[in-house]
Amino acid sequence: MLVVIVLMILVLDTGASEEPTGWSPVDKQGVSRYSAIGLFFDADDGKLQTTQGTVKKDSRNPLFGQDKLWETRIDNGYPNVVYDPTYQDAPWRLWYGNIGPDGGQYLLFANSSDGLRWTKPDLGRYDLAENWSGDPEVAKLGKHNNIVMFGGGLGIYRDLHETNASVRYKISGGAPAGCYSADGSKNCVIGTAGSFDGISNWQDVRVLNFASPWRPDCHTNIIFDEPLGTYLMTTRDYENPQGREISIARATIDFDSWSKPVVTMRGTKEHQLYSQITWRFYDVFLGIVMTYDAEDPAGHVHCMLSWSRDSVQWEWIDRDGGLDALKEFIPAGESDAFDSHVCFAAHLPLRMPDGTSRIYFMGGDGPHSGARNSSFALATMKTDRFAGIRAKLSSGSVETMAQRFVNITSAQMIVTVDVEMDGSFSIGIIADGYPSLVRSTPIVSNGTDISVTFPDGATLDPLVGTQQKLKIYIDRATVFTIGFR
């Protein structure tokens, strides 16, 4: 009798096999990329317009809501999402805000194995029996809760630039109404501190004494930017008559000596800029700006998209007129949806191993200053399609900006582009003596990191290691990134 044994190996993709990353100008595989906006867009020449990619909300939304007795009002939430492979069983980690029945603000924690199914663990740090005695049902839970500390508007950042593991998790911010004191008592401070896990053993506490009109009752968040060699703290000022506006402070490479926040974006009295999530996108910065309709009874807070070459001067994406004309980056839900009125994006968006992006957010189902419930949710975006450029007319051509050159790091150029029906995209090198490289073979379909080819078998080999200017030819197409494999 012949017995045949078939061995089947099932490989499960948990989404945690590789660590999500940011958008470094040069990735771990040595691929360099530039944003098309940073290379080509000049608002004054009138040839191009910026445009944003399409965000897709996850069908499983909301991922969780206010389902604990002490979660009386998650409110804006100010979510912070970190992927940390140190915690193998639950590498997805979330910090978010809550307002208690006493009006105080609290930082809460949740974790997940896949970023989709979330658990709110008992941290054993905060005693509800001592502090919430006015609500017996809540008080009897004691330390069985996920509260980390007092404080509102707190940003959490896993700082891989930090060499001291005991303060690798950085915290920043602290709304005055939530802290009760500014000297660090009651486990809260309006400033910065560090921890090995983002939950306990907070140390290196530094109070921020920025002068008015700085007002940090928002989502204050930090990144370390490798190309600039500095920390950026996105916060806000509050100036009359326009109200809330985005500001950014900077610190030295050793996380010390913060500069006074400088206003980088201003809204209007009607459309105030509540907070901004800032991150690097290859050679530029992107920001999700929470814009508040302060004089509208509906009290909407919209998630909009902005960009900057240097983190100092910022512009809107998809702007054609006033703030009323801006396109939402994360569109509000329908009138009966969990996110019908309010959107607050998480710090930070994450680039997944397959290149797609995860953008977490808190959605609210009622007006900013009225009754509402808030829920945590996920949106995704195709690879590298946050922001791109297209011709203002159906077609056109443009060279790289003045003083902007591209490092030809390999002979294989790649582009990420979306092309409409009967459209095309071409790119060329503006280099004397190389006429065959002036315009590539047209690309006529959508693609990510498409290999660029040139007529007659021409290659970039002679130009590898040099800096050159580029020219693009757009015909009913949007180009997002340009790089070298």
86: in domain: yes
**The pLDDT value given to residue 483:** 97
- 201 in the same domain as 156: yes
* pLDDT tens profile 57-113: 999 999 999 999 999 999 999 999 999 999 999 999 999 999 987 777 889 999 999
- 160 in the same domain as 37: no
Q: Does position 1 have pLDDT exceeding 60, yes or no?
A: no
188: in domain: yes
**The pLDDT value given to residue 8:** 31
Q: Are 389 and 319 in contact (CB under 8 A)?
A: no
Domain membership of residue 469 as a residue range: 32-50+390-484
- 469 in the same domain as 321: no
Between strands 32-35 and 467-484, the pairing is antiparallel
255, 321, 415 from 227: Cα distances, Å: 16, 33, 22
- Last residue in a domain, options 336, 353, 381: 381
- 419 in the same domain as 439: yes
* pLDDT tens profile 270-313: 999 999 999 999 999 999 999 999 999 999 999 999 999 999 99
270: in domain: no
CATH number at residue 457: 2.60.120
Query: What is the token pair recorded at 382?
Result: 């195709």
**The pLDDT value given to residue 216:** 87
41: in domain: yes
- Enumerate the H helices of 55-196 as residue ranges: 128-131, 136-139, 176-179
- 457 in the same domain as 407: yes
What length does the chain have?
485
Closest CA to 187 of 213, 161, 224, 151: 151
- Answer yes or no: pTM beyond 0.85: yes
- 416 in the same domain as 337: no
- 316 in the same domain as 364: yes
- 194 in the same domain as 164: yes
368: in domain: yes
**The pLDDT value given to residue 247:** 98
Mean pLDDT of 190-215: 90
In our burial notation (b when 16+ CB lie closer than 10 A, e otherwise), range 422-432 reads ebbbbbbbebe
Q: How far apart are CA 309 and CA 287, in angstroms?
A: 12
CA dihedral for 71, 222, 63, 197, sign (positive or negative)? negative
- 416 in the same domain as 344: no
**The pLDDT value given to residue 17:** 54
> What DSSP string describes 408-445?
--SS-EEEEEEEEEEEEEEEEEE-TT-GGGSSPPPB-S
**The pLDDT value given to residue 209:** 84
- 177 in the same domain as 288: yes
- Number of structural domains (the chain) is 2
**The pLDDT value given to residue 181:** 42
10: in domain: no
Mean pLDDT of 195-207: 90
167: in domain: yes
- 339 in the same domain as 199: yes
Using 50, 70 and 90 to split pLDDT, how confident is the model at 320? low
- Last residue in a domain, options 381, 403, 424: 381
448: in domain: yes
Q: How far apart are CA 435 and CA 188, in angstroms?
A: 64
- 282 in the same domain as 161: yes
- Last residue in a domain, options 323, 352, 381: 381
**Mean of per-residue pLDDT scores for the chain:** 91
